[in-house]
Amino acid sequence: MKTAVKARGLTVSYDDCPVVRGVSLDIREGEFLSILGPNGAGKTTLVRALTGIIKDVGGEVLLSGKKLHEYSRREFARSVSFLPQMPPVSLPFVVSDIVMMGRFPYLRRFEMEKPRDAEIVRNAMRLMGIEQYAKRHLMELSGGEVKRVFIAQAVAQESDILFLDEPTAGLDIAYQAEIFKMLRDFNENLGKTIVLVTHDINHAARFAGRIILFKNGSIAEEGKPEDVVNEDTVRSVFSTEVRVEYDNGVPYVLM
Amino acid sequence: MLMNHNRISHKRALLPLVVSLFFVILLSGPMPSRLSAGTGIDSRGSRVTVPDDDVRVVSLSPGATEILYAMGLREQIAGVSVTSDYPPDFVKTRPKVGGFSTPSLEKIHSLSPDVLILTTVVPLNIKQQLDSLGIQIFVSEPNSFKELLGSIDQFGRLFNREEESAALIHGLRNTAGEVMEAVRSGSIAPVKTFIEVYDNPLYAAGRRTLPGDLVAMAGGRVVPDTDKRYPRISEEKLLLIDPEAVILGHNTDMEQFLSSHRHLSSITAIRNRKVFVPNPDEFLRPGPRVVFALRDIARFLHPEAFE
Amino acid sequence: MKRSIQFFLLFLLLAVSFIASTALGSVTIPFGDTVRVLLSAVSGKAVPGVSAMHHDIILRIRIPRVLLGMVVGGGLAVSGLVFQALLKNPLADPYTLGVSAGASFGAGLALFLSYVAGVQFKSFLPAFAFFGAVSTVFLVYFLARTGGRVQVLTIILSGVIVSYLFSSGLVLIMSLMGDKSHEIVFWLMGSLAGFHSFLLPAACITGALSLFIFSFYRDLDLISLGDEQALALGVNTEVVRIVLFSMTSVLTAVSVSMTGTIGFVGLIIPHSMRMVFGPKHKTLIPTTLAAGALFLPLSDMIGRVLPSVLFGSGMEVPVGVITSLFGSPFFIFLLIRGKKRLWF
């Protein structure tokens, strides 16, 4: 498997306080990777550094073998999407406008949107089941629907790699399962590389092909879900006692 | 026989008495004998009284400074505003107390004046402070030549220099009279004159101001025709009025004026370049030198009358 | 209302504003004459039957004012729009970064130097004001730079600080000028009279900059999603901010240096357009430009006409007063009507 994104000695500090400490990792093309860890472990910062949103970093990040800062933002955005945890809700734009924003990396300054762009947007909305909301304002939609809008935007971006920061936070169970299923669909059928930061151990363990346990700015454990998720690792990373059951080889964490 | 004798001897005794009385009266002060204080009425109609001996005046009005100097006051002028600049050698010797509207109350107070001369109505906060310091205010704001002469007269009464003020008034009247006579003798119609006191926005001096009065005396008809003293006027109205002459009463020169008023070049005065900038210290200042401005303006408006 | 009808109405209002501002003033001129003079100005032929004075009033006094009003109104409105988008602050206006304080200081300096040195700098006043305005931008930028990235909050704070700095400088100048300080006060009140010689370069710069800003319409849309998301979608937020802030500040500086500070236009025009036309900057930028261009001459005309009608005097109310007086109720009206489409 080819390496899509590689990080070497990635270090991020806020006010001399290291949040990400010399992390090295490979994200392989086409994999479904989930990063788990307690609050304040630095997971979001890690992802922000990997996507170039934070520029003041030590070490280096490579996308397809090329250093991050050698890419223009537009170029980079054609390959990599990032969904932050809190998408803005009080936006005056309608859904189709927001999804169309995903086409930004492909449109030059005075270039008009082409029929192909409109089609990609339509397909993205159809894929996420939000076509009927095309002319509605974001404020009128529920939390889950809003998430779907922004995922559709990432789909319209036609990027190979999707980074998502807590995409299921605050959503009810039905939506949670749905999002994960959708991401698996992207991964298996569309070949997209998914990197997911989440608190949801169980869904991660069920859907991800690889799990990284992140603690205090470093990788604590890394590997297949059944190898990584057990009572000992959970105890050491999350500082809490749990019971782990298995269902068809997939670990389940019970409180 | 005895009465005649007595009368002659009484007369002889009376003479030294009369002579000594005469000297006593002579030495007691100028005739006719006065109260030991002078009183004048200012532009507000307020009565102001100051002592005769060692009177101390602070003048915030450059015009008043010149008038007092012309009346012979010297050390009595205890302080002047920064803008008082004439006569230069005299004014240099006088302590300075600030500008028209920005006087230093401390400085003024330290000079212990009996009266403070101002040209305009005082802002309330300053007036209250002056009152509490016991400093009298004399406002001198003449809005015509006649009022200027009246002001000089009141100064004369105030400072007990009535002869000097009378002489000054007489002199100014004569000079003004000569100018007006020359203008009249030419028997030319008054020239429609616009007095610009500021250009952006446009402000004019009306006839009920001292500059306006001078222009009228010099043979001009002041436009716009209004009772307002310093009306604001739109450029359109100015085009409508179409003055024949323009007199500039602010800090500028003819070239500046012409270049900034190019879009008004259809006005008669501008077309003919009949624009004049009198010495602002003579034109705008209510002092003795207004007659020079009068003469210069008359020469400008009616050159034929002075050939 | 259909979008195309809205555009048409806007354009119509622009034309009405132009004609009304040219036809009305403190001197009454028959409407037919105005039209004939306007047409003749285009064709270049003289117009018989119209007095030279009326001719002059229309072509040499009113038209320059109206054109200046359109250029400045449009420039201020677009600047306000961009500042609101970049600072993500609905209360931002073109003067948020202290541009007006810098321009006023520059103007005050020109008047002060004339007063002190006796040389007439007055005709160069716009140049002084312009450099004052541009200096504030540099100053704000350098103050706001912390660790390689410029934060939005820091920019706003720096703008406030720099504003105060230049305002104090201006007050100092005014106190030094003492009795002559009324000259600065007049300039601060804002006016469309005067400095018309700079009209053509100002119009060209305003047009060019507006076009340049327009090319960033997508970036501006995406920035409203938040810096992180905008970055993720490919917007180089830092570069875009620097470029747009500089261009908009120059645009504001050009306007302010000729007319003094005219408030309200940069604040309410963008909001009004947002309420009517929606949030996409592709539509907002041209409509805001047009709305600003029609609003300012109209306000100026009211300021010229109203005192004549009410008091028969040649008085003119400063245009900045009119923009506030008429702007606020209009804004309230839009607010009540357009509750659904609020931005925030």
Across the interface, of B236, B242, B260, the residue whose CB is closest to C26 is: B236
Return d(Cα A59, Cα A69) in angstroms, integer. Answer: 12
Q: In this predicted model, which residue has the larger pLDDT, C217 or B263?
A: C217
Report whether A57 contacts A45 (CB < 8 A): no
Query: Which residues of A are less than 8 Å from C229 in CB distance?
Result: 82, 84, 87-88
CA A178 to each of CA A147, A167, A168: distance values in angstroms, whole numbers, following the listed order: 11, 11, 9
Residue B204 has pLDDT above 90, yes or no: yes
- Tens digits of residue pLDDT in A209-238: 999 999 888 998 899 998 888 888 888 888
Taking phi over 0 as left and psi of -120 to 50 as alpha, with beta for the rest, B301 belongs to alpha
Q: Kindly compute the dihedral angle of the four CA atoms of residues C138, C142, C144, C145, in this order, to the nearest 10 degrees.
A: 130
Report whether A4 contacts A28 (CB < 8 A): yes
Structural domain span for residue C154: 3-343
- Return the H-helix or E-strand segment holding A61: strand A58-63
Residue B29 has pLDDT above 50, yes or no: no
Can you tell me whether residue C94 is helix, strand or coil? Answer: coil
Residue B35 has pLDDT above 60, yes or no: no
Residues 141-180 of B with CB under 8 A from C: none
Report whether C87 contacts C155 (CB < 8 A): yes
Whether residues C120 and B252 touch (CB distance < 8 A) is answered with yes
Across B154-163, average pLDDT = 92
Across B172-180, average pLDDT = 94
**Mutation to test the A interface, candidates C88, C151, C218, most A Cβ within 10 Å:** C218
Residue B222 pairs with which residues in a beta bridge? B193
Across the interface, of C149, C274, C344, the residue whose CB is closest to A90 is: C344
**Strand B191-198 with B245-248, pairing:** parallel
The residues of C whose Cβ lies within 8 A of any Cβ of B are 25-27, 52-53, 56-57, 60-62, 64, 114-115, 120, 122-123, 175, 178-180, 186, 191, 193-194, 196, 304, 308, 313-316
C245-267 as b/e: b if 16+ CB within 10 A: bebbbbbbbbbbbbbbbbbbbbb
The residues of C whose Cβ lies within 8 A of any Cβ of A are 147-149, 215-216, 218, 221-222, 224-226, 228-229, 231-236, 274, 278-280, 341-344
| Cα atoms in the Cβ-side hemisphere of radius 13 Å centred on A32 | 22
Across A2-11, average pLDDT = 86
pLDDT at B135: 83
The radius of gyration computed from the CA coordinates of chain C, to the nearest angstrom, equals 21
Of B31-35, B119-123, C196-200, C206-210, give the lowest mean pLDDT range.
Answer: B31-35
What is the number of domains present in chain C?
Answer: 1
ipTM rounded to 2 decimals: 0.89
pLDDT at B32: 44
- For residue C236, the Cα-to-chain-centroid distance in whole angstroms is 28
For chain C, say whether B227 makes contact (Cβ under 8 Å). no
Provide the H-helix boundaries in A80-172: 95-101, 115-127, 143-156
pLDDT at B133: 79
**Domain CATH code at residue C277:** 1.10.3470.10
Of A134-138, B124-128, C132-136, give the lowest mean pLDDT range.
Answer: B124-128
Using CA coordinates, name the residue in chain C closest to B265: C56
Whether residues A84 and C228 touch (CB distance < 8 A) is answered with yes
- Tens digits of residue pLDDT in C227-265: 889 999 999 998 998 899 889 989 999 998 888 889 889
Report whether A217 contacts A19 (CB < 8 A): yes
Return d(Cα C96, Cα C87) in angstroms, integer. Answer: 10
DSSP B123: P
Residues 241-260 of B with CB under 8 A from C: 242, 251-253, 256, 259-260
pTM for the complete prediction? 0.82
Number of cross-chain residue pairs from A and C with Cβ atoms under 8 Å apart:
77
pLDDT at C324: 85
Residue given tokens 């980074």 in the structure block:
A163
Return d(Cα A178, Cα A202) in angstroms, integer. Answer: 14
**Minimal CA–CA distance to B228: which of A170, C315, C300, C210?**
C315
Across the interface, of A53, A87, A88, the residue whose CB is closest to C231 is: A53
**Strand A193-197 with A32-36, pairing:** parallel
Rounded to a whole number, what is the largest CA-CA distance in chain B? 103
- Tens digits of residue pLDDT in C37-56: 888 887 777 777 777 788 88
Q: In this predicted model, which residue has the larger pLDDT, A133 or C178?
A: A133
Across C114-130, average pLDDT = 80
